[in-house]
A and B are shown apart, each in its own frame.
Chain A
């Protein structure tokens, strides 16, 4: 749909603050029209990476940022034509909803008639037409973030950048807005980079996910592959729950699996034995903690309607190909 979508390329982008290396030299390509999610714990360098792409932060000498075949490394943010959505909305309190959306067009000198048409279009896109003249402090958090999204999109940015946009919202609102953002990104087919520490958000929104740890990119792949074939225990642990099911003779963890990949039976049809130490009801499912004789009990997810109880003896085994293989 959007043939003008831009490729974003980082070449050897590093960043240090004083003596702290916030970002190791990073090579990264964001394909035209895709949504790349930067995922990791706080301090992993994901926000620094986003700020380098935006131009709010410059990378250390030697690093380069390219939008298509244009080197934008030396350009400040106002010359890069990016749209940004921030965690705390960063809407201008002195302007109302429509004026906020119009701001970028105004400072860029777009004529009034075109500006107003574009604002209407953007407000319709995020379903806020009725609130056009509302002042910012009379909006809910979800509405604020939709205004911020409309504002970022109004000036037709080359790249859309999200800095934990849902982190300040409560759980229900977060889920709804996540869906809306996802739909919008698909529809617009704009190149987008999305920073989050929430793995569910990353899975739902990312065409690809780049997992970062301590200033390094540790794996970049589709959400399915990240989940099913994590490159390291860190990645496996960060994007979901994992169990250690085998140890070597020294007690070091050897084999891991996901909680949904354990086959469980109340009789002894499977080879391995254990007993349930606790069960947690989660609504649609229940999570059982099963002592299998290792240091940590394993977690097993089962349908909520099945009846399991603490103290019950069980037999279990791994589903086929369920053991996680770490390449790193």
Chain B
């Protein structure tokens, strides 16, 4: 096949794939601002569904946001040092622990949630609070923070860097903050992306752990799909996307800002 034909074919496949991924989302978002979905856009454009959802479910929006940010904070505080520890653990143990870490991912969310309920469910104060959901989210997202961080640590040969740092007189703390953290920044950012998106969109575990007073956005979404007009559920999707997009853009901006800061530093120095 000539180059032109090959290019056209690639373009076609890429377009089809992109459409395959985007069309359902766009349709759902459109349905959320349509007066009557069964008549179609002809029936007119409206924000009443969005307003109705916001009125009924605004608290789920904020709760999801809060849980996602706390989840990120905790996975950072636990995940980065844990990855560091894993890196330095003797070979066969590290491999075992790494396997165990992936268990909550491989296991159905419902099973994980059941385990959490069995273990912590008896503490009614905890059971009724959103922290209960946060526990589930941390359990589920922690491996997604640890894996990219661990991968970057292995790629830069972190143990050797640390030995060099120690030989120059740096204490354990100094090593962690001046060598380990700065040199796995890319892994931390990749992990942060995963943690935020997974936490915000998490349904399986959350559905088991929530109470009527602690609904997150995806749980509310299921609720509205099940009990209300299709347009309401779709308007909800719209709000969901409006929430996750700024979060991701913000993380991306942080990444760019850090990269620029580093290169600016190098330029200024030069």
Contacts and interface: CB of A to CB of B under 8 A. Distances in A.
Interface string B139-166: 0000000000000000011001101111
A135 B267 CA distance: 10
Contacts of B179: 92, 94
Question: What band does the interface of chain A fall in when counting residues whose beta carbon is under 8 Å from B?
Answer: 20 to 34
Contacts of A90: 157, 160-161, 163-164
B8 interface: no
A107 B178 contact: yes
Given A90-B160, A93-B183, A54 B167 contact: yes
B124 interface: no
B167 A94 contact: no
B164 A78 contact: no
Contacts of A93: 156, 183
A310 interface: no
A307 interface: no
Q: Which of B156, B163, B183 has the most CB of A within 10 A?
A: B163
B269 A98 contact: yes
A79 to B, nearest CB: 8
A133 B269 contact: yes
A93 B270 CA distance: 17
B266 interface: yes
B167 A83 contact: yes
Interface string B170-184: 110010001100110
A214 interface: no
A77 interface: yes
A191 to B, nearest CB: 15
A244 B193 CA distance: 67
B246 interface: no
A123 interface: no
A284 B169 CA distance: 47
B118 interface: no
Nearest to A134: B270
A135 B266 contact: yes
A83 B182 CA distance: 23
A86 B169 contact: no
B185 to A, nearest CB: 8
19 contacts: A77-B167, A78-B167, A79-B169, A83-B167, A83-B168, A88-B160, A91-B164, A92-B161, A92-B183, A96-B266, A98-B269, A103-B170, A103-B178, A107-B168, A133-B269, A134-B270, A148-B164, A151-B164, A161-B167
B37 to A, nearest CB: 53
Interface of A: 54, 56, 76-79, 81-84, 86, 88, 90-94, 96, 98, 103-104, 107-108, 132-135, 148, 151-152, 155, 161
Q: Which of A82, A107, A134, A135 has the most CB of B within 10 A?
A: A107
Contact of A77 (B160, B161, B163): B163
Contacts of A54: 167
Nearest to B262: A94
Q: Which of B164, B168, B169, B174 has the most CB of A within 10 A?
A: B168
A84 B163 contact: yes
A152 B185 CA distance: 25
Nearest to A77: B166
Given A88-B157, A92-B161, A155 B168 contact: yes
Contacts, number: 79
Contact of A84 (B167, B178, B182): B167
A92 B185 CA distance: 13
A86 B165 contact: no
Nearest to B268: A133
A144 B171 CA distance: 24
B258 to A, nearest CB: 11
Contact of A133 (B156, B165, B166, B266): B266
A216 B160 CA distance: 26
Given A92-B179, A93-B183, A78 B266 contact: no
Interface in B226-257: none
A84 B163 CA distance: 9
Given A56-B166, A107-B165, 14 more contacts: A77-B166, A78-B167, A78-B170, A78-B171, A83-B167, A86-B163, A86-B164, A88-B157, A90-B163, A91-B164, A94-B262, A103-B178, A104-B169, A107-B178
Nearest to A86: B160
Contacts of B171: 78, 107
A77 B160 CA distance: 13
Contacts of A81: 169
Contacts of B262: 94
Contacts of A132: 269
A54 B160 CA distance: 14
Contacts of B270: 133-134
A147 to B, nearest CB: 11
A76 B166 contact: yes
A133 B268 CA distance: 9
Contacts of B269: 96, 98, 132-133
Q: Closest 7 CB pairs between A and B?
A: A104-B168, A90-B164, A133-B270, A84-B167, A133-B269, A94-B182, A107-B170
A94 B183 contact: yes
Contacts of B168: 78, 83, 103-104, 107-108, 151-152, 155
Contacts of A135: 266
B175 to A, nearest CB: 8
Contacts of B165: 92, 103, 107
Nearest to A80: B167
